[in-house]
A = this chain, B = another copy of it.
């Protein structure tokens, strides 16, 4: 399909990337129900690794099966599906080429109790190529004392990924001894995390929905002095989008913990109104029964279809 004007505009922000990376970015933007709109809904399933199998798949036992998520991502018309190495590898052969894929190349489990969290690099650019993934996904924990290790591992992966025509998606999740629990989703911190991910060379950035809390004293002064609005979700998302190179990097938002659909969709509406490029929705999707998940994803997709 020839590119829409909106997709062309988005691609124009990635002028330093080679055509391989642009092609993989295009494939994500051209796939699923939101094809051509410049919006994305992505299904990420790495919680088996991050939170353990029972907490992740227990609420909806068919989801223990790696096939389940490929099927859900395809059936719902998502733009892409993201997973760690093993889960991707187990099922990808059957679904090869049917949906753009993001190989989650670092992961962290919650068995070791670590003050300064740091994900392990668990797969590689070479794995992404052999498994047919068009992107690598990587989590950073700004706020952790181990952040430099994560930034530096990312540097090498990013350079190689870009050379080989892959897209780099960064999950920017502030966390660690430097931040209060509330601060992890504070609007100043969320925007800062988006900025850091952008500076590290991410093509697509994923953050959590920002709250009205402001964590850093220095930032608080600036928000007040310049009257940066933070009252509504749309306001806060707008600031985050601006913080991602004035909206010139694709910024998407996670759905957070599982909860009822009405509250979730209300938030999604706010994010869409604030200029979010889309949603990355894992637990809220696959922990519901399949029919409900499809319905919820459809509602999210519809919101983004209607967004400006």
Binding site for B on A (CB under 8 A): 1-3, 11, 13, 15-27, 30, 48-49, 51-55, 57-59, 61, 64-66, 74, 84-87, 89-90, 92-94, 96-98, 107, 109-114, 116, 118-124, 126-127, 129-133, 142-145, 147-148, 151-152, 155, 159, 163-165, 174, 176-179, 188-189, 191-202, 216, 218-219, 222-223, 225-226, 228, 239, 242-243, 245-246, 248-249
Q: Chain B residues near A66: list those with CB within 8 A.
A: 245-246, 248
CA of A27 to CA of B142, assembled, Å: 36
CA of A156 to CA of B21, assembled, Å: 22
Let me know if B192 and A53 touch, CB within 8 A: yes
Let me know if A192 and B2 touch, CB within 8 A: no
The quantity of this chain's copies bound in the complex is 5
Q: Which 4 A-B pairs have the closest CB atoms?
A: A26-B97, A15-B93, A23-B132, A65-B246
Q: Which residue of B lies closest to A165 (CB)?
A: B129
Taking the nearest CB of chain B, how far is it from the CB of A191, in angstroms?
5
Let me know if B200 and A86 touch, CB within 8 A: yes
Let me know if B112 and A142 touch, CB within 8 A: yes
Q: Which of A97, A151, A198, A245 has the most CB of B within 10 A?
A: A97
Let me know if B111 and A165 touch, CB within 8 A: no
Taking the nearest CB of chain B, how far is it from the CB of A165, in angstroms?
5
CA of A55 to CA of B132, assembled, Å: 39
Q: Chain B residues near A216: list those with CB within 8 A.
A: 52, 110-111
Let me know if A16 and B13 touch, CB within 8 A: no
Q: Chain B residues near A21: list those with CB within 8 A.
A: 132
Q: Which residue of B lies closest to A160 (CB)?
A: B126
Q: With A113-B178, A201-B86 as given contacts, are A59 and B23 in contact (CB-CB < 8 Å)?
A: no
Which of B1, B20, B30, B199 is the one whose CB lies under 8 Å from A132?
B20
Let me know if A48 and B113 touch, CB within 8 A: no
Q: Chain B residues near A65: list those with CB within 8 A.
A: 245-246, 248
CA of A17 to CA of B131, assembled, Å: 10
CA of A23 to CA of B57, assembled, Å: 27
CA of A65 to CA of B249, assembled, Å: 11
Let me know if B122 and A200 touch, CB within 8 A: yes
Q: Which residue of B lies closest to A55 (CB)?
A: B222
CA of A18 to CA of B17, assembled, Å: 7
Q: Chain B residues near A49: list those with CB within 8 A.
A: 195-196, 199
Let me know if B131 and A219 touch, CB within 8 A: no
Let me know if B53 and A23 touch, CB within 8 A: no
What are 23 of the A-B contact pairs (CB < 8 Å)? A3-B98, A15-B94, A20-B131, A22-B132, A24-B132, A27-B97, A48-B195, A52-B219, A54-B192, A54-B222, A54-B226, A54-B239, A58-B228, A65-B246, A66-B248, A86-B201, A90-B198, A109-B142, A110-B216, A111-B176, A113-B177, A123-B155, A129-B163
